[in-house]
Amino acid sequence: MGSPTVASLFAQRVVVGVGDLSASNNTAITLSTYALGSCVAVVAYDPVARAGGLLHLMLPESAISAAKAVSQPAMFADTGLPLLFRALDGLKADRGRLRLFVAGGASVLCTTDMFKIGERNLRVTYAWLAAHGYTVRHTAVGGTINRTVHLEVGTGAVTLKTPSANEGLSLAA
């Protein structure tokens, strides 16, 4: 099929685990998070700075566990979101140019999820983003399926994988 490109030889994948985040302006990096169920991924990308970040939050509010919020702030929407945007600021991303994608917030355990963690995660995430002037351009949320998300920092390309499909979108355009 041809020789690999130089860029592909040096490409690296950074896996963002549950309750974690990563931000980068290294154009050879792909940020990835796997098996989003009720958790929510927030992907932010600045196409001019070519800087992007991915947050995989697990719970809506840090008040659930103040000690955990100190040791793992990305676990919660209310502490993880400010951390994500501070990390992007440090990479010279401009908040006015940031393009956002939100995925997850499903109810995968059962259709009568009495805790409604996915819905609560989405509600708190959207409220925080709106209160801080961010607009979400693309979403893949709710339902009952798991999702995997990849962000190519060099291009702003996002790949969304579900059990039945692979979809692509661009945060660069």
How does pLDDT run across 34-44, given as a tens digit for each residue?
A: 999 999 999 99
CA distance 115 to 76: 16
Tell me which H or E stretch contains 78: helix 77-90
pTM given for the model: 0.92
Residue in 122, 148, 149 with CA at minimum distance from that of residue 59: 122
Q: Hey, which CATH number is domain 12-170, 3.30.1330.200, 1.10.600.10, 3.40.1050.10, 2.40.10.10?
A: 3.30.1330.200
What pLDDT digit, counting tens, does each position of 54-98 carry? 999 999 999 999 999 999 999 999 999 999 999 999 999 999 999
CB-CB contact of 101 with 171 (8 Å): yes
Contacts of 30 (CB under 8 A, 6+ apart): 11, 12, 13, 14, 150, 151, 152, 153
Contact 15, 96 (CB under 8 A): no
- Each domain of the chain, given as residue ranges in start order, spans 12-170
Plot region of 58 (φ>0 → left; ψ -120 to 50 → alpha; else → beta): alpha
